[in-house]
Structures are given as C-alpha cells and as structure tokens.
Amino acid sequence: MGGGAILRYSLHRLAILLVVVFFLFPIFWIALMSLQTNESILRIPPSMVFTPIFDNYQALITGKLITQAGSLDLPFMKNLFNSFFLSAASVAVALILGVPAAYAFARFKFRLGENIAFTLLSFRFAPPLLVLLPLSLIYQTIGLDNSYVGLIWVYQLICLPLILWVVRSYFEDISPEIEHAYRIAGHNWGQSFLRIAIPLARPGIAAAGLLAFIFAWNNFVFALILASADKQPVTVGALAFVTASGIQYGQIAAAIILSILPTLLLALYAQRYLVEGLSLGAVKG
Amino acid sequence: MRQGAAKIFGKFMPRLDTSPQTRQRPPIMQRALPYFLSLPALMVCIGILVPFFIAVSYSLMRYRLNLPHLKGFNWFANYLDFATDAAFWHTLWVSLVYAVLSVGFELLLGLGIALLLQKPTRMNNFVSIILLLPLMTAPALAALMWKLMTNPNFGILSYLVSLLGFTDFKWASDPSSALFTVLLVDIWVYTPFIMILLLAGLRALPKQPFEASALDNVPASFVFFRITLPMLMPYIITATLFRLLDSIQQFDIIYAMTQGGPGNSLVVFQVQAYLEFFQYTNVGRSAALMVILWAITYGLSHLFIKQWLRLRERASGLA
Amino acid sequence: MDYLSLNRISKSFGKEKLLDEVTLGVAQGENLVIFGPSGGGKTVLLRMIAGVETVTQGSIEVGGRDITFDPPEARGIGVALQNFALFPHMTAFDNIAAPLAARKKSQSEITDAVQKIAKLLKIAQVLHHFPKQLSNGQKQRTALARALVARPPLLLLDDPLRNVDAKLRFEMRLELPRLLREAGATVIYVTQDYREALALGDRIAILMGGKLLQIGTPRDIYEQPASIKVAQLFGDPTINIFDVTQAVRENGQDVHLTLGGGVIPLAGATAKAVRQAAHAGKKLWLGIRPEAIDFVWPGEGPGQGTGEGSGQGPGQGTNQIAHKNAVVIAAKLEAVNPLNERHVSFLTTQEGHDILCSRPADEGGDPNQLAEAAKGQVKLQFSPDKILVFGGDDGEIMAHHDDAAARDATGDATGGATRDAAMVTA
C-alpha cells in the first residue's frame, strides 16, 4: 500500500468511527446517567468516572422514591405494562385481521382488495391528528375514551398496513402450485391456508409482527390524545414523568433506558427483516 | 376446412356441437371467499374513513368546544381566514423549512454513510446494524434524551459547546437555536432510515458497470456521479418521498422537546392543530389545518406510492 | 360411455383465448396423451380438469357427474404437476402421505401405503428428507408417488419428465407405462415430447393454439396425420414436405405425382381428392417421413455398376435391389450426419427439393460410398403407400389410404411396433 492508500484507509475508518460515535453516544450517555446519583450527574465538568448505582432502577421498579423529603409514588411500571399490553394486543389483532386479508390480496386479484390495501396505505401517510382529533370526540360520545379497546383500535392504523403489505409480499412469493397440490390432495381451502400458506410465510409474518410491535411501542401521539395517565404507554408516560419528577435526572434517564430497551433488543433480533419491513417490501434486504 | 376434416376423420375428430354458449360463473360461495377474508380489513378502513370525513366536516364548521351553542357550518370561512392569518403562514413556513432541512441533511448524511459501508464486510454489516438503534428509539423518547444532553446545568453537549466558546448556548430554549436542536434529534433518529434503504440499494446494483470502469481507470468522481448516483436514484427518490411525508407531519420530537416553543418558533402543522384543539378548543380551525396538511401529504403520498410500487416490482423481480 | 368427458371447454384470459371449445372423451382405464407445442393450452386444460383453474365455458364430467365447479379437493383426482410442487416444509413421507391424510386414513394404513409406493418408485431411502435435500429425480418420483398413493381413479400428469435429466427421463419413459398400468387408473398425460406421446398413449390428442387438431391412436397420428402441422410434430428429423402443386399428372383415370424423376401413383380416395383439388387450383403437398425412404443399394457383391438412371416407374435397376412396387427417384447426396443410431442423409432432387433420409446405421451400406461410385447421384426408394398428400392453404390431409383405414378398423395390434420404431428413431 502506498502512502495515499493508507491515508485513505485511515480516513475511511475515522469517518466510520465518527458516525458510530454520533449515533451511539446519546444512548451510551443516557445509560451512564441512569447509573449515577443526581450529585454525580450535576458535576462540572461531566465525568465518566463514577461508582455505578442501581437506585434509579430500583426506585422505578418498586414504584417508590424515598428521599429526605419523604416518599413519592412512581407509576412508571404501569406505563411499561401499558406499552407491552397495547403493543402486543394491537399486533395480535392486526395479525388476525391482516393475515387473511393479505392472503386474499395476494391470491385473488380483486378490485375491493386493491382499494382496501391502498386506502390503508395512504392513511399510513396521512397526518394522524386528522383522524385522532375527531376520534377523541367520537370516543367521548361512545365511551371508548381512555380505554384499551379504543387505543388498540386506533393502533391498527400503524400495525395493519405494515402487516398487510409485508405479509402480502411473502404470500406472493409462495408458488400457488404448492397450494394447488395440497388442495388436489384432498384438503379444503382453510386447511391449505393454515398448513401451507401460513407456515411458508411464517418468517414474513414474524418479521412484520415484530416491526409492528416496535412501531406501536414507539408511538406517541395516539395515546397522548386518547389516553389518560392510567392507560398511557411509556412514550407519553416518560414525558409526564419529566414534568412530575422535576430534577430527578437519574430516574428520568433510567426510565428512558427501560423504555427504549425492549424495542432496541427486538430490532437487533429482527434486523434481518428490518429493511424489507421498513420499506414495506419495496427493498429486499 | 373444419367440416371437410370432420367428414374424412369422422371417427377421430370430436363431435362438433356448434350451438352458441353462454359464459358460466362459479357458485357464489367460491366467488365470495376473497371478500369474506378481507372483511375485517374493510371494517378497519371504514373505521378510519368515518373520522376522516367527520374531520372534513368539522373543518367546514364554526366549532369551538367552549362555545358549543355556536356550532354550525360556516363553510369555507376557516380556510379563508387562513389567507390573511400570519400565524397560518408561519406554520406553513416552519413546516416546510423543517421538512426540507431535515430530509436534506438526512439524505446527504445517509448517502455518505451508505457509501462508507458499501462493502459487505463483517465490520460494515455490524456498524449498519448498530446504526439502526436510533431509528428504533421512540422519537418522543429520543427528544427527551437530547433534552437531557442539552440541559443548561449538566448537559454534556452544553458542556462541550462551552469548551468551544459558546458558553451561553441555549439549544431548544432559545428561538434562534430551537430549530437547529430539533433538527439534530430528527437527523439522529431518521438518518439511519435513509442509510439502510440506500445501502440495500447500493448493494443490489449490478456489478458490471463498476468492474468495467475500474478496468478503464475511470476517475472515482465520474463513477459516482455518472454511474452510482443515477442507478441509485430510484432508491433515493423512494427514501426521500417517504421521509418528506413523515417529516412535514413531525409531531413527536417537537412536542416532546419544546411543545412548539419557545414562543411559536416551532409550531409546525400538527403541533399547531394540537394546540388549536386542546388549548384554544377551536375544533373547526384545527380540523381545517389538518385537512390542508392532508392535501399536501396526499399529493406526496401519491408520488411516493407510485415510486414505491415500481421499486417493489423490481425487488420481487430480484428475489 | 366415456369416464371423463370435456364438453366444449373454453378458457379466456381477458381477450386472449387459451382454449377454444375443446371436446374430448376418455374411456375408463385409457391412457390419453395430450401432446402439442408449448403454449398450446395443454397445461391449462389439465389444470381445469384438476380444478385449480376456472372454466370460462363448457363443462367437465367425470363418471357421469358434472364437476365443472367442484373445488379441487372434492374431485379425488391424482395430479403430478410439472414443477413437482412439493410442500417444502414437509418431509418426502409427509408429502406423499398428504392425500391419505386428507382421506382420514389411519396412521398404519398411511405408513403401509407410503412405504409401498416409495419402494415401487425407489425413494424409500429418502422418505425422511425434505424436498430441498432431494435430487430432481427424487423430487419427481415423490411428486409421482403423491399422485399415485391414494389410487385415484383419474390421474393427471403434467409433463412429469420435463424437469429431470436426460438419463432419468429415458429410464422413466420405459418405467412409466408399467407403473401406470399397475395403477389401473384413467390417465391423462401431458407432454411436449413426441416420443413420450407415442410411448405412453393409448390415444393421443393434439392440442395446438388452443384447438384440438386430432385425436387418435399413436399409429393413426403418426401414419395419418390430419394436417402438415400435426405431421411435423412427430419424428426427428421431421417429415419431408414437398410442394407438388405443379407435379400432378393425369392420364385417363390414373392420377400420379412426379418427384425426382420418379412417378408416384395415387389410388382410390386420394386420387379422387387430388384430382378435385388440382382442378380447383388448390395447393398440394407431398409428405414422406425420412425413415420411410431407403437408398437403392447395389446387389450383393462388390463392383456392381450404377443403374441406367431412368428411374422410371416401379422399375428395378438391373443390378440394384429395390422393393417390389417401390417408387424410385434420383437425388444428389449432399451430406450424411450420424444421429444417434441412425444416419440422416441430406439430398436434393432435380427439382431442387431437399430430402432427408434416415436409415439405421447398421443397415445397408455407406451412402457416401454409394454416392462416390455414382458421381454423387443416387437412387432413393419408398413404398407408395407411405406417402401423405396434403392440400389447401392449411395443409389438410387429402384422404388416407384405404388399406390403412382397414387396418385401423381391425384394431391396433401392430400399433406398438410402429411406436417402437418411431421411438428408436430419436
């Protein structure tokens, strides 16, 4: 290698390093904050040398913050549960509604199917408040405001298009001949759907489900408008928490880490399918 | 000719029945199956369309939650008011600036990173996976993270810029730097999106043009501008349209960071509509704002869906 | 009463008509081969019988019952599709067992039946493998086993040998007739390979451009094709076709054709039809298969001279051995190519027609030596009842030989022999 090549190689490496630092540093730094006392956080200059403590996490998990001034209730675990419950239930509903529809759209080319698929897709890109603001008034009238059912229903706006389009492309990749062979062998339509189509599309269904879970988890505006404190997921809860706990920065950091950890782990687990899912199947990863 | 053959080959050719035929249709149950399967999805569709049309009707009304007795159609008054309302034009301006700047920077940065990681080595693959983490962080939580890092008392970024001489840099609390701060968060979250789409695109490009130009010692800049960039264009357009659609409707980051402030410096469409609804309880005006934003995104989404379908067709061709 | 009858079946996709009023009856236990070039509508027809393609018009009956709109699972038909269509997530065993499982057979019955058919098809050792672990030949046998295992009364095979290698194809071509006989089912077999068609079919249906052109025994189709199009589908090299519109000679009641200095007498119905066609100014073609042509070989012993070269009539050259009644024509030998076990000679007549002549390599002598001795000019002979005359713009057969028709009437005892001969040709 000549000098120019070495220089170019080093610059390339340096550029990658800078990129990694920019994108990972915030997560890293907040994780460090979550392990410090407030005194340690407030040091000037900031330092990475400290004795890690787990009091912040302990306070969040037990739901009780003990200070000199007395004890404070932290509803954060309830938010965490809400996030899990809302995301999981929304994905489950979206799978039950979306997988048969995705199959129908992939196998039978029919007008109504295309219309449904494109309506859902175009509302995926419509401003959520357009639907949410009137929905909040409707929900108040019909008593669905601040209910899990009502939230799960609107979460379909996030989960259903994703599942519909990603799973559809997986169904389209399965040769219809294989299902034909199964029908000819003497199985009815339902058996062929359950024992051939679904097992063969399983990777796509799993990937779409995981991604839908992540997007549901990360959603903020739906619950901000439609849920009160006891039904709020972590995204909304953490914001309220900042206002409520004021200067308990260590606990805020810990709450953020607990809130983002599930999706980050899921993303790493499902990274193989992320490209396809994020582009709704337009780009094969 | 057929008849002649039939005469000669009477015993070989099938009996010819030439009466006219009508088209037959399979039983109703078989034809109904696809509709039956998509029924639940159809219900969700209707569930979306009903509030949508209600929103459109609100936008044509004088409707304030605190003055319910005044509720009634005033038709296009809400829209006409916007024409002379500086606040509306400010909202439009801020939204556009936010969308264009965020997507512009993300595109440049995302393309740069994709090029850095183009070779599918183990390290590059690892880095590209690691870079997904910001994208998988909830934007509202990402805003809180950056809020902690830009805190004037202990924020690490405040400390770092003070070392550069900006001892009183106020980040999101100052109107002059608020846009810059939220843009930083947007870039942190969404650049990886553009990066992975372009990286997938780069790696799917055919190899021959590059091998040929390497043999001919074509300069790298020529290869990039005349070969790489044009071939990558469908991916760039798809990613850009997708991000523009999201970005012009940005709510989470801005709301979590500044609630539209300081002052009204960051009142983009959705934030403004939210404030109109919940603070000023002006449902009609809020709905009109959303219908305008919807019209903008509908045009963009039309372009995007067309582009996306084209790319999707190509992707399934590759698979 | 036909076991399977297709009644004016049509299939359109939009404006495109894939099948045009196909009517066809298949007797119980019969092996019917549907043969034709790709895109002719064979696979679509088979898929309609199987129930996985809708019927645009017409009806399908099996055993007297209309099944046109029955779903595939209600038809009880065994089908082996061209690309195997094995279930990728099931073992070969489970693939084969699928039809039995659907019929709610007991586990022991299923195991017995699968083992038995697997043994017969020589795949018993790979039953626990998944399709992607199987070779193409094993996949093909698995697909076949799946079609056969439930002993369906009707079996549809869509070009099952298409995607296997040449060696296996050859083996299976020998093995399949026995298997199908053992299965005892009514079989519809789709192929684009004329050798398979001749080897496997009790009857062959020719499907081209969505239309049924001819149905008949292999022998009928080979010897009395309905048109030039059909004639050209069989044989390698394909049939010689000469334009003889200008070569019709009439002499009182006799009608004959001239070719290469030879005279081909026409008889009976053919003569009558040709005379009419010639008077009507229709185009006429003469067809003769390359294997029906032989050289006029010198008699035993070396040093035989060349003939006088008149080649008139059924004349036997003094020293040459031509068959009784054979037509002898003169031609110039251009090239000889070995093709499998045969020699294919390429010749031209004095009119400039190209003739191909295909002879077993170990029979007769070397055409090159023959030609050398005769300065390139050789004599060819063929029996006048081996010729086919086609007329009209579509090249329909004018008539077929009365004696051949008589043979048909007595049955197909010799059909097998023709079939075998044609098979070796390739």
Amino acid type, C386: K
Which residues of chain C lie closer than 8 angstroms to B1, CB-CB?
Answer: 392, 394, 396
Model pLDDT for residues B7-58, shown as the tens digit of each residue: 334 344 444 455 556 666 667 777 788 888 888 888 888 888 888 898 888 8
Q: Does some domain include residue A203?
A: yes
The domain boundary residue, chosen from A60, A75, A90: A75
State the alpha helices, DSSP H only, in chain A: 3-34, 38-41, 55-62, 76-107, 111-124, 128-142, 148-173, 176-184, 189-192, 198-218, 221-226, 234-245, 249-269, 271-278
**How far, CA to CA in Å, does C28 sit from each of C137, C157, C215, C410?**
29, 16, 16, 21
Which residues of chain A lie closer than 8 angstroms to B294, CB-CB?
Answer: 126-127, 130
Core vs surface per residue B122-149: b (16+ CB within 10 A) or e:
eeeeebbebbbbbbbbbbbbbbbbbbbb
Q: Is there a contact between B37 and A24 if contact means CB atoms under 8 Å apart? A: no
Q: Determine the pLDDT at residue C410.
A: 39
What DSSP character marks residue C17? E
Q: Tell whether C179 and C233 lie within a shared domain.
A: no
Q: Quickly tell me which residue has 């009364």 as its tokens.
A: C153
Q: Tell whether C37 and C138 lie within a shared domain.
A: yes
The CA distance from A121 to A103, in Å, is 16
What DSSP character marks residue B65? T
Q: Tell whether C218 and C246 lie within a shared domain.
A: no
Q: Does C226 touch chain B (CB under 8 A)?
A: yes
Number of domains, chain A: 2
Nearest to B27 among C55, C69, C215 (CB): C69
Which residues of chain A lie closer than 8 angstroms to B277, CB-CB?
Answer: 129, 133
Phi then psi for B151, rounded to 5 degrees?
Answer: -60, 130
Q: Tell whether C300 and C208 lie within a shared domain.
A: no
Reported ipTM: the value is: 0.90
Q: Tell whether A212 and A269 lie within a shared domain.
A: yes
Q: How confident is the model at residue B255 (pLDDT cuts 50, 70, 90)?
A: very high
Q: Does some domain include residue A10?
A: yes
Q: Tell whether A115 and A204 lie within a shared domain.
A: yes
Q: Tell whether A84 and A179 lie within a shared domain.
A: yes
Q: Is there a contact between B133 and A27 if contact means CB atoms under 8 Å apart? A: yes
Residue-level pLDDT, tens digit, chain A, 285 residues: 567 888 888 999 999 999 999 999 999 999 998 898 888 888 777 777 788 888 888 888 887 776 666 677 778 888 999 999 999 999 999 999 999 999 998 888 788 888 888 888 888 888 889 888 888 888 888 888 888 999 999 999 889 988 988 898 889 888 899 999 999 999 988 899 999 999 999 988 998 999 999 999 999 999 998 888 788 999 998 888 877 766 788 888 999 999 999 999 988 888 877 777 777 666 665
Q: Determine the pLDDT at residue B267.
A: 86
* CA-closest candidate to residue A22, choices B242, B105, B229: B105
Q: Tell whether A142 and A34 lie within a shared domain.
A: no
Q: Tell whether C118 and C249 lie within a shared domain.
A: no
Model pLDDT for residues B108-133, shown as the tens digit of each residue: 999 999 999 988 889 998 998 899 89
Contacts 24+ apart (CB under 8 A), C361-368: C364/C294, C364/C295, C364/C297, C365/C295, C365/C297, C365/C298, C367/C295, C367/C333, C367/C336, C367/C343, C368/C333, C368/C336
**How far, CA to CA in Å, does A265 sit from each of A90, A261, B146?**
19, 6, 21
Using CA coordinates, name the residue in chain C closest to B7. C399
Q: Tell whether C220 and C293 lie within a shared domain.
A: no
The domain boundary residue, chosen from C192, C227, C262: C227
Q: Tell whether A88 and A197 lie within a shared domain.
A: yes
Q: Determine the pLDDT at residue B279.
A: 84
Q: Tell whether C200 and C233 lie within a shared domain.
A: no
Contact C160, C143 (CB under 8 A): yes
User: Is 70 exceeded by the pLDDT of residue B155?
Assistant: yes
Nearest to B23 among C56, C212, C392 (CB): C56
Kindly state the tokens that stand for B63. 């409707």
User: Is 90 exceeded by the pLDDT of residue B182?
Assistant: yes
The CA distance from B268 to B260, in Å, is 7
Q: Determine the pLDDT at residue B317.
A: 64
Which residues of chain C lie closer than 8 angstroms to B26, CB-CB?
Answer: 54, 69
Kindly state the tokens that stand for A192. 């062929």
Three-state DSSP state, A55? helix
- What's the mean pLDDT in B149-162? 85
Q: Tell whether A270 and A139 lie within a shared domain.
A: yes
Using CA coordinates, name the residue in chain B closest to C392. B1
Q: Cα distance from B294 to chain A (closest Cα, Å)?
A: 6
Q: Determine the pLDDT at residue B2.
A: 41
DSSP of B170-223, one letter per residue?
-GGGSHHHHHHHHHHHHHHHHHHHHHHHHHHHHHHS-SHHHHHHHHTT--HHHH
Q: Determine the pLDDT at residue C322.
A: 64
Vertex A170, ends B307 and A280: CA angle to 5°? 35
Q: Tell whether C217 and C363 lie within a shared domain.
A: no
Rounded to an integer, what is the distance from CA B302 to the centroid of its chain? Answer: 11
* CA-closest candidate to residue B38, choices A113, C201, C215: A113
Domain that holds residue C126: 4-227
Q: Does some domain include residue A126?
A: yes
Q: Is there a contact between C83 and A196 if contact means CB atoms under 8 Å apart? A: no
Q: Determine the pLDDT at residue B153.
A: 81
Q: Tell whether A91 and A28 lie within a shared domain.
A: no
The CA distance from A101 to C86, in Å, is 25
Q: Tell whether A70 and A112 lie within a shared domain.
A: no
The domain boundary residue, chosen from A75, A104, A131: A75
Q: Tell whether A116 and A36 lie within a shared domain.
A: no
Which residues of chain C lie closer than 8 angstroms to A185, CB-CB?
Answer: 73, 98-99, 102, 146, 150
Nearest to A182 among C47, C78, C87 (CB): C87
Three-state DSSP state, C335? strand
Q: How confident is the model at residue B104 (pLDDT cuts 50, 70, 90)?
A: very high
Contact C261, C350 (CB under 8 A): yes
The CA distance from A155 to A217, in Å, is 10
Sketch the domain layout of chain B as residue ranges: 93-318
The domain boundary residue, chosen from A75, A95, A129: A75
The CA distance from B142 to B270, in Å, is 19
Close Cβ partners of C271 (under 8 Å, ≥ 6 residues apart):
C254, C255
The CATH number that applies at residue A176 is: 1.10.3720.10
Q: Is there a contact between B197 and A279 if contact means CB atoms under 8 Å apart? A: yes
Q: Tell whether A236 and A143 lie within a shared domain.
A: yes
User: Is 60 exceeded by the pLDDT of residue B93?
Assistant: yes
Q: Is there a contact between B27 and C214 if contact means CB atoms under 8 Å apart? A: no
Nearest to A183 among C52, C88, C146 (CB): C52
Q: Does some domain include residue A284?
A: no
* CA-closest candidate to residue C12, choices B24, B211, B271: B24
Q: Tell whether A32 and A18 lie within a shared domain.
A: yes
Where does residue B9 fall: left (phi above 0), alpha (psi -120 to 50 degrees), or beta otherwise?
A: alpha
The CA distance from A63 to A70, in Å, is 14
CA C252, C253, C259, C264 dihedral sign is negative
The CA distance from C334 to C42, in Å, is 39
Q: Determine the pLDDT at residue A100.
A: 92
Q: Tell whether A57 and A115 lie within a shared domain.
A: no
Domain B93-318 sits in CATH at 1.10.3720.10
Three-state DSSP state, A261? helix
* CA-closest candidate to residue C267, choices C408, C407, C403: C403
The CA distance from B258 to B250, in Å, is 13
* Residue ranges in chain C modelled with pLDDT below 70: 299-324, 400-426
Rounded to an integer, what is the distance from CA C401 to the centroid of its chain? Answer: 20
Domain that holds residue A179: 77-278
Amino acid type, B107: L
Q: Determine the pLDDT at residue A68.
A: 65
The CA distance from A81 to A73, in Å, is 16
Q: Is there a contact between A200 and C88 if contact means CB atoms under 8 Å apart? A: yes
The CATH number that applies at residue C73 is: 3.40.50.300
Contact B154, B237 (CB under 8 A): no
Q: Determine the pLDDT at residue B24.
A: 63
First to last CA, chain B: 48
How many other C-beta atoms are found inside a 10 Å radius of the C-beta of residue C106?
9
Q: Tell whether C207 and C68 lie within a shared domain.
A: yes
